[in-house]
Structure 1
Amino acid sequence: MREDNSMKKKLFCLLLSVTLLTGCRSQDDLSLPFTNSDGLNLTANNSEAAPEFFAADLAVVPDELNHMADPEITAEASLVVNDTDNKIIYANNVYERLYPASLTKLITALVVLEKADLNDTVTISYNASHITESGAKLCGFKEGDTIKLEDLLTAFLVYSGNDAGVAIAEHVGGTIGEFAKMMNKAAEAAGAVHSNFVNPHGLHDDNHYTTAYDLYLIFHQLVTYDKFLSIINNSEYTVTYKDAGGSPVTKTFATTNRYLKGTEESPEGITVIGGKTGTTSKAGNCLILYSKDKNNKDYISLILKADNSDSLFSQMTDLLKMIK
């Protein structure tokens, strides 16, 4: 079944690329033929191919839905999707290339969940324990510490520690460079073909970018994993691991998500399950959420490049108010 879904997403990527190149017109207006790598001739309005891949299990944002204007939503890009019914509620600039900051951690998590054993024991390297970039958030792991991969991934997503990201990348991929190749392959398989990732954490690199729509596609894939949903629902996480000498170390990592901390209130009838925050000077303030309404329908909402953290969460609350 997963192989079938992967093939569907690859064909979807081809169709989406044509859609973008032709101005994001609606499906019925598209008639440009193209050939995929298997020699299959497809058209974007092909009655057999296109409906299946555009409507099966993904929401598509045509140009007429990609420039919604709401004076309260001032971030560079924003998106709300009814993920149960695959319907767009709000979209603006979702195909603009932007920096993802720590929303990068989503594709890192997808690689781990797809390729790694969460029961593995990870040894923290010198590189992971010596991130020197100013302002980089760190879990505080030391060289030689050993920790279960599941605990490391949880701390990585809940607290957003960049040292955990390096440790994950080195353990799963061998090197950051090799792991980045795995990230890009996983992104492509999810349909996120307008992204390029060069590190596992999102610390700034000019060649490290994505789009709001690509992040939706990655997140849409992630929320099929119960383990991921369980992790992002933590308001805090306490873990015990061992230092280089074998002695136990216990730390508690608090979430960066204000809705889970109780410092931001979601609209009535909306339950925030979890998500991921991100911020760098060039990416601005970013947030993606997975939520449910009173009818138990699922929603993905996303903001990229808000001016500051307060504005980020107030805009997200305004987006969540659009859910009816």
Structure 2
Amino acid sequence: MRCINKPDKIKRLLCLTCIAALFMTGCGSKIENAYDPYSTDYINGYNGVDYFASNICVTNDVNFGQDSVSSSSLAEGAGAFNVDTHQVLYSQNLFEKLYPASTTKILTAYIILKNCDTNDTVTVSHDAANPGSSSSVCGLKEGDVITVGDLLYGLLLDSGNDAAIALAEYYSGSIEAFADVMNKTAKSFGATNSNFVNPSGLPDENHYTTVYDMYLIFSNAISLESFVNIISSQTHDATYTNASGGSVTKTYKNTCGYLTGAYTAPDNVTVTGGKTGTTGEAGYCLVLLSQNAKNERIISIVYKAGGKSDLYTLMNEILSGFAN
């Protein structure tokens, strides 16, 4: 509820706090009603409770770091963020609206892992088994009965759009209802420049995010040990039953080039895992978690690279130049 009768002095202090947050790197725990400057949470923050931005990197829209990165032109947007020191390390169009492709599945996975029992079973619907001819899939068929846990591996490793739809229908009953949950969840993280209309990242002009918003989403996802365990896996064997009751075994493989061995991270950088995404509209995308020589966690993001080689070339330059 709104605090409409608070003293003007407190209101002025709150306004100054909000303005300062736009220009200062700071940190804060999440609060309810984060966008109402006169909410009880802001008043409580004034009385000693942590503010929203006390544990996140806060920055403005000024680019920096490109002078030290020769391949910055290979992608439209990129950023690097030190999770533990709360510093923005590299900034390239952090707030530009871009298509996330399958990095969308980070948010899908977070919602499921945060709210569901991974031992639950899901019966795959016709729609989930037929996500479209151009979709990346993990091979689900209508009538398959599979655990939520195995679906999450199919979602994040094999980047299965079929798994994304199956999870959305399991959680919310429909893609549309799940998209509502996605948007509410993203906004609760402060990701206010995003809009999601599906759980997979299939192209849609109304499905978009920014590098900074994806940093906020990913930083919440990696707070879940179960999420990190999945994205750090090279492969996962899933066993489930088909519509006839027969046993099916599939091996899901991570699409991150660092985990497949196709690309090597710079010295003193240890890659934990991440999520790739590729469509014609989005280009080549990667959201990555790694550790530097000080064991500090680094989130690095490249969006809309022109090709896979461009993607990893720029990512390596950002990591080698700014992660340590």
TM range (shorter): 0.7 to 0.9
Q: What's the counterpart of residue 36 of structure 1?
A: 37
Q: What's the counterpart of residue 241 of structure 1?
A: 240
- Amino acid of the residue matched to residue 192 of structure 1? A
**Compared CA separation, residues 244 and 51, structure 1 to 2 (3 A):** closer
Q: What's the counterpart of residue 6 of structure 1?
A: none
**Compared CA separation, residues 145 and 41, structure 1 to 2 (3 A):** closer
Please say if residues 122 and 166 of structure 2, whose CA atoms lie closer than 8 Å, have aligned partners that are also in contact: yes
Q: What's the counterpart of residue 317 of structure 2?
A: 318
Residue segments in structure 2 that go unaligned for 5+ positions in a row? 1-13, 27-34
Please say if residues 61 and 93 of structure 2, whose CA atoms lie closer than 8 Å, have aligned partners that are also in contact: no
In the aligned structure 2, how far is the partner of 1:298 from the partner of 1:274? 12
- What's the secondary structure of 2:213's corresponding residue? helix
Q: CA deviation at 1:239?
A: 0.7
Q: TM-score, normalised by structure 1?
A: 0.85
Question: Does residue 1:182 correspond to 2:181, yes or no?
Answer: yes
Please say if residues 256 and 276 of structure 2, whose CA atoms lie closer than 8 Å, have aligned partners that are also in contact: yes
- In percent, how many aligned pairs have the same letter? 40
Q: What's the counterpart of residue 4 of structure 2?
A: none
- Amino acid of the residue matched to residue 228 of structure 1? F
In the aligned structure 2, how far is the partner of 1:169 from the partner of 1:99? 20
Over residues 86-133 of structure 1, what are the superposed CA-to-partner deviations in whole Å (9 max), with x where a residue is unaligned? Answer: 111111110111110001001101110122211110100000111224
In the aligned structure 2, how far is the partner of 1:50 from the partner of 1:97? 33
- Amino acid of the residue matched to residue 36 of structure 1? P
Over residues 261-310 of structure 1, what are the superposed CA-to-partner deviations in whole Å (9 max), with x where a residue is unaligned? Answer: 11100111111000000011011110010001222111000001000111
**Compared CA separation, residues 139 and 62, structure 1 to 2 (3 A):** same
In the aligned structure 2, how far is the partner of 1:62 from the partner of 1:186? 22
Q: TM-score, normalised by structure 2?
A: 0.85
**Compared CA separation, residues 230 and 128, structure 1 to 2 (3 A):** same
Q: CA deviation at 1:37?
A: 5.6
- Amino acid of the residue matched to residue 314 of structure 1? T
Q: What's the counterpart of residue 100 of structure 1?
A: 100
4+ residue segments displaced more than 6 Å: 39-42, 46-51
Q: What's the counterpart of residue 275 of structure 2?
A: 276
Answer with 106-115 or 195-204: which moved more: 106-115
Superposition map of 1:136-151 within 5 A:
136-151=135-150
In the aligned structure 1, how far is the partner of 2:25 from the partner of 2:141? 53
- Amino acid of the residue matched to residue 91 of structure 2? A
Please say if residues 25 and 57 of structure 2, whose CA atoms lie closer than 8 Å, have aligned partners that are also in contact: no
- Amino acid of the residue matched to residue 128 of structure 2? A
Q: What's the counterpart of residue 220 of structure 1?
A: 219
Q: What's the counterpart of residue 11 of structure 1?
A: none
- Amino acid of the residue matched to residue 111 of structure 2? V
Q: What's the counterpart of residue 58 of structure 1?
A: 56
In the aligned structure 2, how far is the partner of 1:169 from the partner of 1:82? 31
In the aligned structure 2, how far is the partner of 1:256 from the partner of 1:188? 28
In the aligned structure 2, how far is the partner of 1:88 from the partner of 1:50? 24
* CA RMSD in angstroms, aligned pairs only: 2.5
**Compared CA separation, residues 23 and 71, structure 1 to 2 (3 A):** farther
